[in-house]
Structure 1
C-alpha cells in the first residue's frame, strides 16, 4: 500500500477522525519521527541540507509561473464558467522545465565579491520544486479586492486612480502574510498542528520526484499520459469553447416543451438545471473538483445541494414565498417588487451614499427566493461550523493548544533548526508598512474611515488564531465574510464601497494569513529554509497582486459590454454577486433587509443561525446514542450547509454534473480500478485543467480578441435572434424568465 492510499484510507480530511490517541503523545521529545501517524506515512523524517534551493532555476521558474497563473486565473475569473489552473498543474509542468534547465544551463561557478554561486548547482531538487509551487500556490486565487475596483468603475461610477486600487489590492493580500509570521509558532511548529491539505501537496511532490529513473514496465508513463490527455482536451475544448458552445449545457428535457415556463425553470441550464448535461469541463470542474474531492465529502455536498435546490427552493418559489414568482427561480440580480431590475442610483445621493427619502420613494430591494435562502443557508453554515467543531473536535483542539504552549517538538521541528529562522522584526516591519499604506489608501481615497480599518484588522487579528487552529486540526475554515458584513452594515449603513472594503480587510486578510501559514507548514514538512520561503512568498504576492489588477483593468478597458449578458463569455457572474452583496449589506444595510427596520421582508432568514447551531447537536447526540449506526459518523452539517454557498453565482447544473463525474472517478474507479486511479486520477484532473486553459487562451487571443466569431448556427446561437428559444445557449430561454413568462 503506497503513501497516498494510506493517507486516503486512514485520514478523513473533512471529519478529522484521527487514528491516534493524543494522550499517548504528550511527551515525544526523544522520538525520531512525528507522533502523528498520517505525517509519519507521508513526510520523511530525514533532510539533506545540501540540496540546492535558492537557485536561479527556482527564481526564474517561480516568477514565470507566478506571472502566468496570476494572469490566466484572473482572466478566466470573469467568464460565465470560471476556469482556474490548479496548483497541481504547475507542479507537474515545472518538473520537466526544471530538469531541462539542469541539463542546459552552464555549471560554471561565479564569484561576486566573495559570493560564489552557479546557475546550475546540480540536479533539479525537490526543494526548488516546492518553492516554485509555493510561489504559485499562495497566490493562485484571484485577489479579492480587484472586485472592489471593478464595482467602482462599472457599477458606482466612482473610479479611483490605478495606484489607489493597487495599494488596496497589495495591502489586503500582504497584510495577512505579516500576520502569518506572528502566529507561525502556534500553527506551524507544533507537531499537532498538522494542516491536512499540506500532506496531499507533500505527497504530490514526493511522488513526482520518486518516479525519476523508475521503470514503467509496460505501463504508460505519467508524463506521456499527462501530455496525451492535455492535448486531447486542448483539441476538444474548441467545441464547447468556440464551435459548438451549446454542448456545454444540453437542457434536453426542456426541449420537449420549451414554451412551458415551469418545465423551463426546472430543467433549463439558467434555472435549476434538472437533467441538464454539461459537456464542458469548465462547468463540470469549476465548483466541485470531482477528481480531487474525496467521495464522502461529495456525498455530503450532494445531499445538501439536492435538499436545498430540488426540495426547499421549488417549494418556496411555487408557493410564492416573498412574492418570488415575480423573479426568475435563480438569479444573482436584485429587483423591485414588480420584477424590474433594482437601480441603485435611485436610492443614492450625488455622493453615492444611501438616501432614506429616495429609498422610501423607490421601494425596498427584492431578490429571488433562492438568493435569499442561500444567505440563510450561509448563516446556518456559520453557526453549524462553530458547534460542529466544539462537539466533534473540541478535545483535539484543546490538546493541541496545550501542545503548542509547551513547545513540544517533533523530528521535523528539530531538523528545521539547521536553518536560520526569519527574524520577528522582518514580519513586524512588513506589518507596520502594510498598515500604514492601508491607512493612506482608505483615508486619502475615501474607501472607508480610519476607525473602520482599525476595527476590520482587529476582527481579523482576533479570529486568526482560533480559526487557524480549527483549520489546522479539521481542515475546515469558518468564514468571516458574514460577520464583517453584518458589523459594518450596522455601524456604517448606506456606504456600499466602505462595506465591501471593510469585509475585505476583515475577512480576506484573515484568509490570506492562513493561506500563508499553510504554505509555511508545507515548507516545514519539506525542510525549506524559512528565509528563502519568506522572500519567495513575499515577492510572488506582490507580483501576482499587480498582475491581477492589471489584467482586470485591461479587460475592462478593452472588452465592450464587460460584465453584462451582451459581453458573453465575460459576464462576471462572481462580480455580479459581489455587487448585489454591496447593495444588500452596504448601500441599504442588513437592518432593512434582514433586521427589523421598515418591516424587513427577509427577517425570518436570520432564524437560520439557530437552526444551524441545533442540527449538529442533534446528530452528535444521535451518534452518542447509537454508536453502531455507521452513517451518523459521516454526517457533516457544515459541509452539507455550505454545499449551496456559491449558488448564485454558480448554476445548479455545475454541481449536478460535477457530482456525477465525481461518482465515476472518486467512487467507481477508486473502488474497482484502484491501480489506475492511484496512478492516473490526479494527473487526469491536472491534464484536463491544463488543456482546457491553453485552448481557451488560444481561442481568445487568436480569434475572439480580433472579433473573429464562429458563424451562428443551432450549436452557436445568436443572442439577437428574435426567436428567443433559438437564441438561447441551451435553447431554453424561459429558464431565466419569471413564473409569468416575463424575460428579465
Structure 2
C-alpha cells in the first residue's frame, strides 16, 4: 500500500476497478484503491522482488503495464519521426479546431495515431535509403537509421497529441470576428497562439519533479497509451497475433462508425436524440421540455450519435463518470426544472438554458452599442440600458466555477500537501525523494536544463509583451503580468486533479473576476476581447501544462529522454497552429450564420456555445465590470461559491480520515463542482447514454471480464473516435463545402429533428 510518507494518507490510485464504489476485496485491501488482479495482468515480472525499495512504491496497475528494461541506444528523433509527426498533426489539428465550434464532438484520437503510425513507420524503414544528409555546421542525419523503434513511435503520438488539441488561443480571433466583426491580423493571431502555448510548456518545469517522478500520480490516459504501445511492440508470436487481431477489429469498427455517422449527422438526425417522453407526450409542453435533448433537459433521452458519447466512457475512470453524471442530474434534471417551472432566478424572463446576456426586461443585451470606437464604455448608453443579466443555468455555473477553483487548491493541500512539501524540501537538502525503479532508469537521460526552460519562457513572454504593447488585444499592460502569475499558481493544483483522474477541468471564471476589478480604473479599456485575451494567457498555461506533463509521463513510462519528448511536443505545436488558424477561417466563412444565431442549426451542433460563453463573461466582467454586477442582489449569492469550494474538500477529507474504508476521497469536489459549472446549453442527450455504456465498459467488463477489457477497450474507443472524426472531416470538406443539404423527411423534421413539438 502506497502512503504519504508524512501522514499515512492514501494517495488514491484511481484506476477503474478501484473506482467501482463497491469494492469486494479483503479487509486488508478495502482501504486502498491500487490493486488489479495480478493473474489477469498482460505483462508479468516473475523475477522481480516487489517488496524491494525500488519497486514497493510502484502501484500494481503500473507494474502490470510498464517495462522495467530499457535500451538507451535505440533511435528517437529521426527523419521518420518528423515526417509522420507532421502528417498526423495536420489531420489532428483539423479535427481539433472543428470541435471548438460544435456543441458536442469526439476529440481526435491519439489511439488512431498509435495504431496507424506503426505500419507507416515500418514501411519507411523498409523503403528509405540509408543516405546521410548534411546540415552544415548543425551536423548531419541519416534518412534511415535502422528499424523503426518503439521510442520513435511514441514520439509521433506525442507530437500529434500536442498539435491536435485545437489551440485554445484561436478563440480570440474567432470571437473578434463573430461578435465584433474585427479581423485580427493573421500574424498577431499566430504569434499570440504560439506564445501562449510555449509559456504553458515552460511552466511544466514547475511541476515535473512532483508529478512525473512520483509513481503514485498515474495519469490514467498515459497508462492506457502505454498499454497499447507495449502491446504492439512485443516480439513474441503471441504479441504479433494479438496486434493483428486488434488492428482488424480497429478498422472494422472505424469503417462502421464512419458509415453510421452519416445518419445522425446528415441523413437521419433523429437518431442523435431519441426522446420517448416527447413521442408519448405528443404536443404537451411539459413532456416535450422534459424529454427533449435539444433545448430541453433530456430525461430518458438516448443518443446514437457518437459525438454525444465519445470514448470517455472508456478512458475516464468509472468513479469520475459517476461524479460527472451526478453533477449532470443535479444541474439539469433538478435545478433547471425548478427554475423553469417555478419561475425562479429570473426565469422565464431570462431564458434558463441560455448563455447569452439580457437587459432587465429580458431583451438581448446590446453590448456592441455600448462600445466606443476606441474600445471604451459609452457611459451614456450604459445608463440607458442598465445592468447585464443572465439565465439561471449560467448564473449557477459562475457559482460552481468559483467553488471548483478554490476547491482545487484546498484539495491539493489536504490530500497532496505532504508530497508537495517533500519535493520542495528536496531542492534545499539535495536529497532525492524518488528512488523507485522507473525514476532510476530515467537518471541515464539528461534533464532539460533550467536555462532552456527559461529561454522558452522568455521568448514567449517577450512576444506576448510586444502584442500587448501594440494594443492589438485591448489588454492593459499590467494585467498581462498578473495573468502569467495566476496561470503559474493554478498549474500544480489543476495538474494534480488531472494526474489522478484524467478529468481536465477549466480554470473557470475566477480569472475574469480578477481582471474585471483590475481594469476598473480610469483609462483602461473594458473591451470584452481584452478579458478573453487575459483568460487565454492565464488559463492556457494550465491547459498546455496538462498536455506536456501527460506526455512526459508517457516518456517516463517508456523511458524516453526528456529532451526528445519536449522536441516532439514543440514540433507538434509549431505545425498545428497554422492548420488550426486555417480551419478557423474556413468555419467562420461557411458557418457564420449559425455562429451568429442568424439561422438555427437544426441539430444544435454548430452553435459555438463555448465562444458565446466567453463573450458573455467578457460583457459581464470587462464591459460592465464586477463592481457594478455585485451591487445587484441577483449576483451577491455568487460570492458564497468561494466558501463552498473551501469547505467541501475539508468535509470530504475529514470523512476520509474517519471512515477509511468508505473511499470518500474518490468524491473529488473539484471535479464535481467543475462539472456542475459546465454549461449544458443545447445538448442534454449524452450523459444518460454515457453512464449506461460507462457502467458496462468500466465497471462490469473491467471488474469481471478484465482480460476482454484489456484486449478490446482502448481499441474500441480509438476506432469509434477515429471513425467519427473522419466522417466529420468528410462531411465538412465535401457536403457542407458544396452546400449539399438533406431533404426534410420524417426523421429530419424541420421543426424538431427529435420530434419534440411544442417545447
Shorter-normalised TM range: 0.7 to 0.9
Whether 1:691 aligns to 2:723 is yes
Whether 1:169 aligns to 2:193 is yes
Distance 1:78 1:469 in 2: 29
Distance 1:497 1:329 in 2: 25
Distance 2:737 2:243 in 1: 42
1:390–1:283: structure 2 CA closer, same or farther, 3 Å change rule? same
Match of 2:678 in 1: 646
Give the conservation status (yes or no) of the 8 Å contact 1:591–1:600: no
* Superposition map of 1:192-341 within 5 A: 195=219, 197-210=221-234, 213-214=237-238, 221-269=245-293, 270-285=295-310, 289-341=312-364
Match of 1:153 in 2: 177
Whether 1:445 aligns to 2:467 is no
Whether 1:541 aligns to 2:555 is no
Give the conservation status (yes or no) of the 8 Å contact 2:279–2:755: yes
1:579 to 585, 610, 615: 615
Partner-residue secondary structure (3-state), 1:422: coil
Q: String of CA shifts for 1:490-519, please: whole Å, max 9, x gaps.
A: 111433111111111112123323432332
Give the conservation status (yes or no) of the 8 Å contact 1:305–1:643: yes
1:614 to 631, 647, 661: 647
Match of 2:557 in 1: 525
Distance 2:209 2:528 in 1: 38
1:383 to 386, 391, 406: 406
Distance 2:488 2:135 in 1: 43
Whether 1:371 aligns to 2:394 is yes
2:486 to 425, 446, 459: 459
Give the conservation status (yes or no) of the 8 Å contact 1:87–1:133: yes
1:89–1:13: structure 2 CA closer, same or farther, 3 Å change rule? farther
Distance 1:381 1:572 in 2: 24
Match of 1:491 in 2: 518
Q: String of CA shifts for 1:639-682, please: whole Å, max 9, x gaps.
A: 32222332234632222222222122222333444332221111
Q: Give unmatched runs, 5+ long, in structure 1.
A: 1-5, 21-27, 719-726, 736-744
Distance 2:549 2:660 in 1: 36
Q: Give unmatched runs, 5+ long, in structure 2.
A: 1-12, 22-29, 36-49, 521-525
Partner-residue secondary structure (3-state), 1:273: coil
User: 1:266, CA displacement in angstroms?
Assistant: 1.7
Partner-residue secondary structure (3-state), 1:715: helix
Partner-residue secondary structure (3-state), 1:323: coil
Distance 1:148 1:479 in 2: 17
* Superposition map of 1:378-457 within 5 A: 378-402=401-425, 406-410=431-435, 411-447=437-473, 448-457=475-484
1:385–1:509: structure 2 CA closer, same or farther, 3 Å change rule? closer
User: 1:185, CA displacement in angstroms?
Assistant: 4.8
TM-score (structure 2 length as normaliser): 0.85
Distance 1:320 1:570 in 2: 29
Identify which range, 323-332 or 436-445, moves more after superposition: 323-332
Distance 1:639 1:656 in 2: 18
Q: String of CA shifts for 1:357-393, please: whole Å, max 9, x gaps.
A: 3223113222221121122122222333333333333
Match of 1:682 in 2: 714
User: 1:182, CA displacement in angstroms?
Assistant: 5.8
TM-score (structure 1 length as normaliser): 0.87
Give the conservation status (yes or no) of the 8 Å contact 1:577–1:649: no
Distance 2:77 2:363 in 1: 59
User: 1:284, CA displacement in angstroms?
Assistant: 1.8
Distance 1:682 1:657 in 2: 19
Give the conservation status (yes or no) of the 8 Å contact 1:191–1:408: no
Match of 1:104 in 2: 127
Match of 2:167 in 1: 143
Partner-residue secondary structure (3-state), 2:190: helix
User: 1:478, CA displacement in angstroms?
Assistant: 6.7
Number of aligned residue pairs: 708
Give the conservation status (yes or no) of the 8 Å contact 2:405–2:508: no
Match of 1:60 in 2: 83
User: 1:174, CA displacement in angstroms?
Assistant: 1.3
1:342–1:132: structure 2 CA closer, same or farther, 3 Å change rule? same
Partner-residue secondary structure (3-state), 1:124: coil
Partner-residue secondary structure (3-state), 2:679: coil
1:528–1:324: structure 2 CA closer, same or farther, 3 Å change rule? same
User: 1:131, CA displacement in angstroms?
Assistant: 0.4
Partner-residue secondary structure (3-state), 1:145: helix
User: 1:418, CA displacement in angstroms?
Assistant: 3.6
Match of 1:742 in 2: none
Partner-residue secondary structure (3-state), 2:313: coil
Whether 1:133 aligns to 2:139 is no
1:418–1:166: structure 2 CA closer, same or farther, 3 Å change rule? same
1:356–1:407: structure 2 CA closer, same or farther, 3 Å change rule? farther
Q: String of CA shifts for 1:704-737, please: whole Å, max 9, x gaps.
A: 211122222122233xxxxxxxx222222544xx
Distance 1:423 1:634 in 2: 36
Match of 2:532 in 1: 500
Give the conservation status (yes or no) of the 8 Å contact 1:198–1:518: yes
Whether 1:37 aligns to 2:59 is yes
Partner-residue secondary structure (3-state), 2:99: helix
Give the conservation status (yes or no) of the 8 Å contact 1:86–1:689: yes
1:606–1:125: structure 2 CA closer, same or farther, 3 Å change rule? same
Give the conservation status (yes or no) of the 8 Å contact 1:383–1:613: yes
Distance 1:453 1:643 in 2: 28
User: 1:226, CA displacement in angstroms?
Assistant: 0.5
Q: String of CA shifts for 1:345-367, please: whole Å, max 9, x gaps.
A: 23333333333432231132222
Distance 1:397 1:732 in 2: 53
Match of 1:741 in 2: none
1:627–1:164: structure 2 CA closer, same or farther, 3 Å change rule? closer
Identify which range, 630-639 or 706-715, moves more after superposition: 630-639
1:461–1:36: structure 2 CA closer, same or farther, 3 Å change rule? same
Give the conservation status (yes or no) of the 8 Å contact 2:277–2:290: no
1:553 to 579, 582, 585: 585
Distance 2:417 2:268 in 1: 52
Match of 1:24 in 2: none
